[in-house]
Amino acid sequence: MTDEIGRPSVAVWKFASCDGCQLSLLSAEDELLTIAGQIHIAYFLEATREVADGPYDISLVEGSITTPADAERIRRVREVSTTLITIGACATAGGIQALRNFSDMEAFRSLVYAEPRYIDALAESTAIAEHVPVDLELRGCPIETSQLVEVINAILAGRKPVTPTHSVCVECKLQGNVCVTVADGTPCLGPVTQAGCNARCPAFRRGCYGCFGPAESPNTASLASWLTDELAVEHPELVRLFRTFNADAPAFRTQSRRHEPDREEVAT
């Protein structure tokens, strides 16, 4: 709830993740002091041991759901949060750890851990929105600091945040980047990936690897066909292209599965 001087309370929660997205808030160096003056950070273990009780006006949730305990915990977080915003590819699509969704979790458990019986994990890593209603998603691996600041800023001002869901191509063209697929023959997920990164990779003549996940109408089937027919990108590269940080986002998952000739072969 708002504190005695009317500032909204903010909680930052961690689930299965690397903490990189939470750090994006701390690394907003130019804006951090101004933000800190306008919100009441009530729960943010990455930044402070001080904890204030809920309920909270805004909850920022990082990470995916990978254990039965976390599946319960996210429900409690939802109950004590007025606005719940998921931050980063783990929270919005299951993250890199969702690669296990394409394999056998039991096999990993017995191979990796000396005492597998102590490991209580779910078979799949899933996005927060598969468990509780989410008010806004911030994509990226990690999220773009400027987008997080924009969202907090918009909430404080009571306006709609500027977080477009169109393709990365729009950002390339706004900036005058030359298309790496057309001009260099470089496979690029930009046409099917959501904007928000200012087309960082294509600006450095690299193909987009889709860390912001699928754009609003991602025709991944057409892009995959073109990459195969025109640029000779085939298995296993084509599967790997769609199977990274947003591997379990439906539009990417469908394509990587479609171009996987033999699931058993990939699992070994």
Partner 1 sequence: MYAPEVEAPAAVVLPASGLDDLLTALTGRGYEVRGPTLRDGVVIHDRLTGAQDLPRGVGDEQRPGHYRTTPREDDALFGYAVGPSSAKRALFPPRQPLWSAVSVGDADFEIREADRPSPRVALFGLRPCELAAIAVQDRVLLHGAVPDEVYTANRADLLLIGVECGDPAATCFCSSMATGPGTDQGADLLLTELLGGEHRFLLRAPTAAGQALVADLDTRPATEADLAARDALLEDAAGAMERHLDTDGVHDLLLGNLEHPRWDDIAKRCLACGNCTLVCPTCFCTTVEDTTDLAGTTATRERRWDSCFSLDFTHTGPASVRNTTRARYRQWLTHKLATWIDQFDTSGCVGCGRCITWCPVGIDLTAEVATIKRTSEDPDAPARS
Task: Write out the DSSP string of 192-222.
Answer: GBB--S-SHHHHTT-----TT-B-SS--HHH
Q: Which is nearer to partner 1, 117 or 160 (CB)?
A: 160
Cβ neighbors of 210 (< 8 A, separation 6 or more) are 189, 192, 193, 241, 242, 244, 245, 246, 252
Closest contact distance (angstroms) between CB of 215 and partner 1 is 8
Closest contact distance (angstroms) between CB of 157 and partner 1 is 5
Residue 76, both tokens: 């409690």
Q: Given the DSSP bridges, would you call strands 81-87 and 56-62 parallel, antiparallel or unpaired? A: parallel
Closest contact distance (angstroms) between CB of 136 and partner 1 is 15
Contact, 83 vs 57, CB < 8 A? yes
Closest contact distance (angstroms) between CB of 226 and partner 1 is 4
Q: Which is nearer to partner 1, 27 or 110 (CB)?
A: 27
Q: Which is nearer to partner 1, 28 or 122 (CB)?
A: 28
Closest contact distance (angstroms) between CB of 171 and partner 1 is 10
Closest contact distance (angstroms) between CB of 259 and partner 1 is 16
Closest contact distance (angstroms) between CB of 49 and partner 1 is 26
Q: Which is nearer to partner 1, 82 or 153 (CB)?
A: 153
Q: Which is nearer to partner 1, 164 or 261 (CB)?
A: 164
Helix, strand or coil for residue 132?
A: coil
157 CB-contact burial (10 Å; exposed 0-12 / middle 13-18 / buried 19+):
exposed
Q: Which is nearer to partner 1, 101 or 165 (CB)?
A: 165
Residue 124, both tokens: 């799949």
Q: Which is nearer to partner 1, 80 or 231 (CB)?
A: 231
Helix, strand or coil for residue 28?
A: coil
Per CB under 8 A, residues contacting partner 1 are 31, 34-35, 38, 149-150, 153-154, 156-157, 159-160, 162, 164-167, 169-170, 173-176, 178-179, 181-185, 188, 190-192, 205, 215-217, 219, 221-223, 225-226, 230
Task: Write out the DSSP string of 64-93.
Answer: BB-SHHHHHHHHHHHHTEEEEEEESHHHHH
